[in-house]
């Protein structure tokens, strides 16, 4: 499942996309993110999935543009820590 966490507002689209079929719930993204955007837990959208899965915390879902801003400078961009930490390549950003 492609889970889009975030929102669209007048200024643009801000979604973190987690491919739950690729995610193995290892939790590397949780430790890699300096702002605590991720968590690993029960898959809320599939009651029959037994394994834990990564998701964006409720706290950050509605302010993701600002939560992620420090990792997205306008110049001197570096690879995003969450994307880099994810071994199965399950995380992507829409902006």
Partner 1 sequence: MEKEYWRWPESKWMSPDIDWKTGDIISAGVDVGSVSSQAVVLVDGKLFCYSNFRTGSDSPESAQKVMDKALEETGLALEKIHFTVGTGYGRVNVPFANRALTEIACHSRGANFMYGPQVRTILDMGGQDCKAIHCDERGKVTNFLMNDKCAAGTGRGMEVFADLLSIPIEEMGQLSFKVEKEPEPVSSTCVIFAKSEAVGLLRKGWPKEKVLAAYSSAMAHRVVELLGRIKMEKDFAITGGIAKNEGIVKRIESELKIEALKPQYDTQIAGALGAALFAKALVEKERGLR
CB 64 within 8 A of CB 7: yes
15 binds partner 1 (CB under 8 A): yes
Tell me the two tokens of residue 30.
């949780």
3 binds partner 1 (CB under 8 A): yes
């994810």: which residue's tokens?
Answer: 86
Instruction: Map residues 40-59 to x or -, x wherever contact with partner 1 holds by CB under 8 A.
Output: ----xxxxx-----------
Taking the complex as a whole, the smallest distance from the CB of residue 57 to partner 1 amounts, in Å, to 15
Taking the complex as a whole, the smallest distance from the CB of residue 76 to partner 1 amounts, in Å, to 29
Q: If DSSP codes are grouped into helix, strand and coil, which group holds residue 76? A: coil
Tell me the two tokens of residue 14.
């801000």
Distance between CA atoms of residues 28 and 49, nearest Å: 20
89 binds partner 1 (CB under 8 A): no
Site for partner 1, rule CB under 8 A? 1-4, 7-10, 13, 15, 44-48, 62, 94
């Amino acid at each position: 499942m492609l889970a889009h966490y975030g929102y669209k507002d007048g200024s643009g689209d801000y979604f973190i996309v987690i491919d739950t079929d690729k995610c193995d719930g290892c939790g590397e993204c949780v430790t890699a993110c300096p702002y605590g955007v991720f968590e690993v837990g029960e898959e809320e959208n599939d009651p029959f999935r037994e394994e834990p899965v990564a998701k964006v915390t409720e706290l950050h879902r509605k302010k993701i543009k600002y939560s992620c801003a420090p990792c997205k400078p306008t110049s001197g961009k570096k690879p995003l820590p969450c994307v880099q930490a994810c071994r199965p390549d399950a995380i992507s950003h829409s902006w």
